[in-house]
Amino acid sequence: MLNDIIAPYCTKVKKELGLPENQRTLLLWDAFKAQSTEKVIRELAIKQVVVPKNMTHLLQPLDLTTNASVKKMEKRAFSDYFTSTITEAVLQNPQRDVTTIEVDLKLSTLKSMHGKLMITVYDFLRKEQGKQIILSGRRAAGIAEAIKKARSTGVVPPVCLMEC
């Protein structure tokens, strides 16, 4: 994850912002110990801000807005799958007792559906409405203005945010 996702992402953001490659990066993430090791900090040359345990629902932007939207999409997709399975069975046999209809809940079935859903979620978050949801999380956490100010004044190095 470190070499395949986080480092390339931070490099991409620095390039998009016209920052030097050696620009320090600020990562905002929760208190999960694996991401706060000396190796991670050294290899990424980062300054980290750790959201204290049991506080992500108040301070982490994704937890404030984006995750709720994603969970809603997941629930809707599962509900649609469950309902369509029941509806299909009833249409095939209108006399059938709906309590006897089995919905395939095997992991192999659900994993495939979830993978397709994650592509849908990703596409949604890249569109304007999704970007606004992400931005509203940054506002709710109180960091949107700080990022804007740091970038415009140069007093604090511009921020590359990645929530984990």
The two tokens of residue 130 are 């999704």
In terms of C-beta distances under 8 Å and separation of at least 24 residues, what long-range contacts does 29-34 make, across chains too? 29/60, 29/162, 29/163, 29/164, 30/56, 30/60, 30/164, 32/164
The mean per-residue pLDDT over the stretch 45-74 comes to: 84
Domain extents in the chain: 2-56+142-153, 61-132
Strand runs labelled E in the chain: 25-30, 46-51
Q: What percent of the chain has pLDDT over 90?
A: 44
| CA separation for the pair 158, 153 (Å, rounded) | 9
Per-residue pLDDT, 161: 45
pLDDT digits (tens, 9 = 90+) for 73-87: 999 999 999 999 999
pLDDT digits (tens, 9 = 90+) for 93-151: 999 999 999 999 999 999 999 999 999 999 999 999 999 999 999 888 888 877 777 77
Q: Which of 141, 163, 134, 143 is nearest to 68 (CA)?
A: 134
The two tokens of residue 34 are 């694996």
pLDDT, averaged across the chain: 84
Per-residue pLDDT, 22: 80
Q: What is the pTM of this model?
A: 0.66
- Of 83 and 20, the one with more pLDDT: 83
Per-residue pLDDT, 164: 37
Per-residue pLDDT, 154: 63
Per-residue pLDDT, 159: 42
| CA separation for the pair 49, 4 (Å, rounded) | 21
Q: Predicted confidence band at 160 (pLDDT cuts at 50, 70, 90)?
A: very low
